[in-house]
Amino acid sequence: MQIEYRDGLLFTSIEIVYQGRSKLIDNMVIDTGAVKTLISQNVVEDINLRVEMGDHIVTYYGIGGKEHAFTKKLDSIKLGSFQLREYEIDFSGMDYEGINGLLGLDILLDAGLVLDLDKLEMYRSGPK
């Protein structure tokens, strides 16, 4: 899968499926410093993915301070031709211009992804 180097960051796209509704999310920053993947809740409201009573709430601490997020179990996440099923992802009110989320180490490791920075490609290292 092709990745894009822009403004000093690496970008990719992922597709999520929640309760049978799918959404392609562009402008995901590949962030090897993020333990968990985090997606802006603003980009998924159109598939009725929003915080509800009983959702697990988590707090993140980083350079920008403290931020709260809620966790949802997705039907699946697709990265190119690879798919993770029944995967939990965090969603927050993050509002950074041109960035819809962070693709963190949780997915990168679970999918066995390799970042080839010479070719600006991301691919699976082999069967998992």
Beta bridge partner(s), residue 96: 99
Task: Please report the pLDDT score of residue 128 as a whole number.
Answer: 56
Give the number of residues written for the chain.
128
Distances (CA, A) of 30 to 51, 55, 64, 117: 24, 26, 18, 12
The two three-digit tokens of residue 14, written as one number: 């992922």
What architecture is the 4-124 domain classified under in CATH? Beta Barrel (2.40)
Domain ranges of the chain: 4-124
Model confidence over 27-83: pLDDT tens digits?
A: 999 999 999 999 999 999 999 999 989 889 998 877 667 888 999 999 999 998 889
Beta bridge partner(s), residue 3: none
